[in-house]
Every structure is written in C-alpha cells, then in structure tokens.
Structure 1
Amino acid sequence: RVLPALRTARLALPAVTAEVVVAPSDLLAQQLLSGRLDFAIGRMPDGMAGDLTLSRPMGDEPVALMVRRGHRLASLPRLAPEDLMSFDWVMPSPDALLTRSVIARLQALGLPAPSQRLSTSSFLLTLALIQQSNAIAPLARAVCDRFAGGGSPYVILPLDLGITVAPYGLLSRAGATLTPAAARLAALVTAGESGV
C-alpha cells in the first residue's frame, strides 16, 4: 500500500516531502499526538480512543510463522502446533498486540506461551535472528509472503494456527483536519492502489 502511494505522490505532489516512520502503533500514536506525524497506518492503541480516530479500516491481518531456510520444522512431512513449542520465538514486547494475539491463539489451542529469549519490535533484528538461529517469528502474512520463498533465506512454516491481529486503518488526531497534501497522501495509501 505505502510504496505505490509514494510513487504516485512523487508525481502528483512533487512539492511535498513525505516521511515514512515504521514503528508499533503505540509509538506512532505518540508521534501523532505530539504533532510530529499527520496520520499513521496502524491500530488504535489501548486507552487512546478519545485522543485519536481510526477510520478507513483496511482489514484484519493474518499472521504466518517464518523461519530460516533449512530449519528442521520446515522439512517435517506433517507439522503440528505442539512441534513449535520447543523452539524460541522472536516477538515484540509482551504488551504488543501481535504478542498478545499469538499467545491468546496458542492458549485457545491448549498450548503454553512460547519461550521467548528476545523481545524486539525491530523487523530487521527479527530477520537477522531467525536467519542465524532456530527461532520462529510470527509476522504479518503479507510480510512473510514478500520475504520468504524462492531464493530467500526464509520460509513460511506450512502450518496455519489461525492467528489474526485486529484491524488496522488510518489513525489521526481526534478533531484535527489533515492538510490537503496529507489528505491526498492518506487517500492514496488507504486506497491500496497507485491512484485515487
């Protein structure tokens, strides 16, 4: 969504400079409230519904499990959820929505929370950790599809645990009006295509 929108914005809005900040929704929300960002694509953080608005929902986010190519689990003929429990998982902090969603789904399947040796919200560190260890990383399915397969050092485990993360959408300050340029860019991003 973001890259096609930025390509279109460069042509349609040549005098506008766009900054892309990649961070968890709670950090993006803080930057919104401070006025550093005009809008964000994310989820409504707990306790901020009065300060922010979430509009233009873009859907739930299914989660897949990514590991390094050559990981023992990737070559099992039949993979069961219990097989995952003897490996470390790389996830964001315990209070992050992704982590809470993973743990809740595992509990619904009758499984314990995974042993977690490292907590990080850094996508690059997550990729490095799973490439150099036997750790498992639950990530958005769209991200896994982009980074796994082919000649990539990563593969998606052939097991769908049914993990989804709550819908995301356009976050903005409650009562604030976007500038015309920010409104146009937000429309491009939320449309999910290269033109509006």
Structure 2
Amino acid sequence: MYTQLSLWQDANEQSLKHGEQLPMSDAEVILYRNFFDRNESDQIFYDLHNTTSWTQEVTKLFGKQVNLPRLTAWYGDPGKSYCYSKIKMEPILWSPTLIKIKSKIEALINTQFNSVLLNLYRDGKDSVAWHSDDEPELGKNPVIASVSFGATRRFMFRNKTQKELKYEIELTHGSFLLMTGATQHYWQHQIPKTNRLMQPRINLTFRKVS
C-alpha cells in the first residue's frame, strides 16, 4: 500500500531553505517545493521545451529494439559522457538556461555538478521504469538533484529488498527533489504511465560524472 506523504502546506522561507525530509529508512531524500516560482518556472519550461536538442533514444529489450518512452538529452562539461540502459550519451555544452538552474541548486546544497540528463514526458504514456541512479561513473553515494517543470507527475519509490515498502509523492512545476547518501543503494524510483490526459513535463537530473 502506498503512503501518500503530506507535503502540501504553503511554502515559506524556512521550507525553501531546509526542504522537507522524506521519512524513508536508509535514504536521504529532501523535497523543496516551489523552488522556482511560477513565472520563472513557466519561462524555464518554455526555454527548455523549445531549445533543447531532444533525441528519441533506442534500447534493446528482450532482444528487440524499442524506443524509450520519452525524449532525452545529455548536457554537461566536455568529455563527461554517460551510459545507461545500454545507451551511451555524449554531452552537449551547457545552455544559459541550464547554467542558471544549476547555479541556483549548487548555491543551496554546496555541491558542484558537471552534467545533467533531461527527460521530456510528452504525455501520460511517457514514463520511466523502476531503476536506481547507481551507474559506476556516478560514484559510491551519488548526489542526484532532480528538478521538474510542467505537468505534475507521480514519483514513486520502492525499497529494493522490501518491495512492499513504497512511498509516493507528486513532483510539481518548479519543484526540486534531492537524493543523496545511500538512497540509490536501497531504493528504486519510477514515473509510471497514466491514462489521464497529461500536458508535457520536463525533468532534469543533475549529476557529477567521474
């Protein structure tokens, strides 16, 4: 049974600074609601939607070539390539909009990032399956900074060993979810498909690739 976290009180300076710790064992996950205000989020979504070099990546599933159920892009410092789902991505150099987002996150959490994976969920049929961000090039305890713009989508966690232990939140326009510590060792996450009519959503996960 999913636990719906009660995270909908009005944002204020204290919650923006410290965020809201999710009650998950063996994990360090903090949600900053309204990290970007509505006007700023609208402009960022417009910029990213229209200027990002989106790609329809293809992977192999059960011996067949299949399209990923979303569009993706990989930006970052020169030479910071990234591999996942048997896909190798070479970085496109940072855009002004991405630098702006990155700088605001880095100033808050005092962590530097050298790359970002962008995902465009075009409608409710687009999704990402259960996974952990635990590729070797991300290090032992990766810091993953996830920012969302556009439509609100369900974000679900499940424990790797106790799969009945699950949490669910909604990532809203302008929200920032920080995953650190041992989170990727013990938890998976996903964005499930939905039959509801959904507007597009853009998610960015900032990372530090070795």
TM-score scaled by length of structure 1: 0.23
TM-score scaled by length of structure 2: 0.22
Q: Name the structure with the higher strand share.
A: 2
Q: Tell which structure's C-alpha radius of gyration is larger.
A: 1
Q: Name the structure with the higher helix share.
A: 1
